Amino acid sequence: MAEPEFTATGVQIGKRLRSLTRAGQVRISDGRLELLTSYGSEIDSAPVQAVRASKPWFAHDDQASADVNGTRYLLTLGEHDPAPGKPGPPSARRFIEAVDKAAGRTG
């Protein structure tokens, strides 16, 4: 298996008003986006070309939305990228850029 193109841990993943996990994982690898629980169980996944990632106008700076298989998920990542060598989730902006890059879209 190839090295993931994007990975984030400690991500809160929600669907509508319901929280699915508070410490989940988001991974882009081999052309697929995967949303995982903190235990590594799959919540949802899809080819990255079929995923739409965006910044909702009503959300905080650390949130992004991802439409995966017709379901909209709200992801709470980080407001800023962590300092080099420090743990923590990457920023929501970096997630959106990673989805667009993996899908071959230019922004």
CB 53 within 8 A of CB 65: yes
Residues 6+ apart with CB under 8 A from 60: 76, 79
Per-residue pLDDT at 61: 84
Tokens of 2: 């190839």
Q: Which of 16-20, 59-63, 89-93 has the lowest mean pLDDT?
A: 89-93
Terminal-to-terminal C-alpha distance of the chain = 28
pTM of the full predicted structure?
Answer: 0.86
